[in-house]
A = this chain, B = another copy of it.
């Protein structure tokens, strides 16, 4: 039942426990010969450092938390993959929390992270309330916002311009001759949904239309394909606009599916565009136009900022990074079959 401690390694190598610790944490301070001997003892005994003891004494861990809204959404798994790459490279482990859009779940997850004394947290907040995050910061846990611009200059964030993305999507639909746009939004509490909507309104206004009349908004409780299906059913009953913009691709794919099931032709009867440009968007029944975000980079850069903040708190300067999204046009808004991603 082998919990080998630093002590036994020390005995085996004929040195003091402190030296083992030095080999582990500042190898350069210990003579090559001793180092070698210690390494061998570690190998032979199968020693594995007790992370908790280390964290307890050192006052901080080599762990960061990642809190996302929906781990079932490829957007977030792409982000997570980017996070994991960087963290892993710098020797940090990642604890993943899925808030599923529920505020209390998010809160529970953050509590767990606080208990684990994570070094920092990457979070896509499920609402706009900064109180919880300030509480973390007061505990000495660094926080970087992901896919959410920081309001204040004393914190890091990495985001993509959602207003602009909404504008692009709507402008594209308008350029196809649409005069009425359905906007399938996620929960009104999610900032991204609100921003994209503002973008739509702006584009509609710029086209000389009245936003109140030209935009039909459907709010869904979450942002899954199922919610998209339901939204489509609702709009089919209420009167379908000739152009629809869904706040993410999962919604759009569900929406599309319901339309096809009902015999609606896309894009002939309805032009449809999603958001995120997840991999599956290009492969759907009618390939889906979308607004692409640099997902993977989002994760990478957020993690780099966070770990810089953790490891070099004195030289670190807070940054609010803002990317620009990119319109990707496919069949669902043009009818041109197999208009694929250029990099595919």
Interface residues of A (CB under 8 A from B): 1-3, 46, 48-53, 55-56, 61, 63, 71-72, 74, 77-78, 80-81, 84, 88, 93-98, 105, 108, 111-112, 114-117, 135, 138-140, 225, 229, 253-254, 256-257, 260-261, 279-280, 282-287, 338, 340, 344
Contact A115 B48 (CB under 8 A): yes
Contact B81 A77 (CB under 8 A): no
Contact of A51 among B1, B46, B48, B117 (CB under 8 A): B117
- What would be 12 A-B contacts, judged by CB atoms less than 8 Å apart? A49-B115, A51-B115, A51-B116, A52-B116, A71-B81, A72-B78, A72-B81, A81-B98, A88-B108, A94-B96, A95-B96, A285-B286
* Chain B residues within an 8 Å CB radius of A46: 135
* Chain B residues within an 8 Å CB radius of A253: 280, 283
- The smallest beta-carbon distance between A282 and chain B, in angstroms, is 7
Contact A48 B114 (CB under 8 A): yes
A224 and chain B: residue at smallest CB distance: B279
Given contacts A48-B111, A108-B88, contact A284 B284 (CB under 8 A): yes
* Chain B residues within an 8 Å CB radius of A61: 52
* Chain B residues within an 8 Å CB radius of A49: 115
* Chain B residues within an 8 Å CB radius of A287: 285
Contact B282 A283 (CB under 8 A): no
Given contacts A71-B81, A74-B72, contact A280 B282 (CB under 8 A): no
**Whole-angstrom CA separation of A115 from B42 in the bound complex:** 14
Between A46, A48, A51, A256, the greatest number of chain B beta carbons within 10 A of the residue's beta carbon is seen for: A51
- The smallest beta-carbon distance between A100 and chain B, in angstroms, is 8
* Chain B residues within an 8 Å CB radius of A81: 71-72, 98
Contact B93 A116 (CB under 8 A): yes
**Whole-angstrom CA separation of A56 from B340 in the bound complex:** 54
* Chain B residues within an 8 Å CB radius of A229: 344
**Whole-angstrom CA separation of A287 from B283 in the bound complex:** 10
* Chain B residues within an 8 Å CB radius of A93: 95, 97, 112, 116
**Whole-angstrom CA separation of A117 from B284 in the bound complex:** 43
- The smallest beta-carbon distance between A266 and chain B, in angstroms, is 12
